[in-house]
């Protein structure tokens, strides 16, 4: 019988494994910064060179990217090494954004469905906080575009399926500029903003009440509305 000798793992390897596990568990979302090296060293009770070596190995694996003076950022698992071709396509051919919304209907109907089944109390607290923020903005007629995007990402995170989360984050990153245009040019009336708020509130309530079918149907209603407004925005741009 050939046994192999047991060798202790390097400190950097153990650090990298823990960070990798956190990323793949969705504890860090794409684009989110990891704590600074100094803080990580304190958390792990190790030296900064060990942390740096761990981060370098995660970078080589494509999980994070480090920037000089800008920290270390979690990368999307579906991100292209050459950037975001989808984002560039939408900039050049704006009508492709409607294709993306069609895809969002398929994806987000199911993220809402699974979130209603799997959301943890912390997920529900985050969704409730977004709804509260949107309601405050509605009272002051302030835009909620950032809260809107965050709401959808939290739902994807609440599925506790890392693939859903990274796919959703990539799509929202690609659509960011287009969606800002829609918010600023089309959602101008109080009625529109009230409708958007009501959509998000009812989606949240279905997830909170563990109603998967209700959450899915309400999400599709919301995205039908977004599709109609996006089409209006495109017509306005080309008029």
* 1.10.10.10, 1.10.1060.10, 1.10.10.60, 3.40.50.300: CATH of 11-74: 1.10.10.10
Statement: the pTM of the whole predicted model exceeds 0.85:
no
The reported pLDDT for the residue numbered 208 is 98
Give CA–CA dist 107/126, Å, rounded: 21
What is residue 65's three-state secondary structure? strand
Per run of 10 residues, the mean pLDDT along the chain (length 239 residues) is 70 90 83 89 91 90 82 77 65 80 93 98 97 92 86 95 88 82 73 91 98 98 91 77
- From the CB of residue 5, how many other CB atoms can be counted at a distance below 10 Å? 4
Where in the chain are the domains?
11-74, 85-238
The token duo for 15 is 């650090």
Q: What's the confidence (pLDDT) of residue 79?
A: 58
Residues 6+ apart with CB under 8 A from 77: 30, 63, 162, 163, 166
Spatial neighbors of 9 by CB under 8 A, at least 6 apart, are none
What class does CATH assign to 85-238?
Answer: mainly alpha
Residues 47, 142: Cα–Cα separation, whole Å:
46
Q: What is the pLDDT of residue 3?
A: 66
């Amino acid at each position: 019988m050939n046994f192999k000798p047991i060798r202790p793992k390097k400190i950097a390897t153990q650090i990298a494994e823990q960070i990798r596990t956190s990323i793949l568990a969705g504890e860090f979302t794409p684009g989110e910064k990891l704590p600074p090296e100094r803080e990580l060293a304190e958390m792990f009770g190790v030296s900064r060179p060990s942390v740096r070596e761990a981060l370098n190995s995660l970078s080589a694996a494509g999980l994070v990217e480090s920037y000089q003076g800008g920290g270390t950022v979690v990368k999307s698992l579906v991100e292209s090494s050459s950037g975001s071709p989808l984002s560039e396509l939408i900039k050049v051919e704006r009508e492709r954004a409607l294709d993306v919304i069609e895809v969002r209907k398929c994806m987000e109907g199911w993220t809402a469905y699974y979130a209603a089944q799997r959301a943890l109390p912390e997920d529900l607290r985050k969704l409730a906080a977004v709804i509260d923020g949107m309601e405050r903005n509605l009272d002051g007629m302030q835009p909620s575009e950032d809260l809107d995007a965050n709401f959808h990402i939290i739902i994807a995170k609440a599925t506790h399926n890392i693939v859903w989360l990274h796919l959703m984050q990539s799509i929202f990153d690609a659509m960011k500029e287009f969606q800002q245009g829609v918010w600023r040019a089309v959602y101008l009336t109080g009625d529109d903003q009230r409708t958007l708020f009501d959509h998000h509130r009812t989606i949240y309530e279905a997830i909170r009440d563990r109603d998967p079918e209700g959450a899915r149907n309400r999400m599709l209603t919301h995205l039908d509305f977004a599709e109609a407004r996006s089409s209006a925005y495109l017509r306005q741009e080309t008029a």
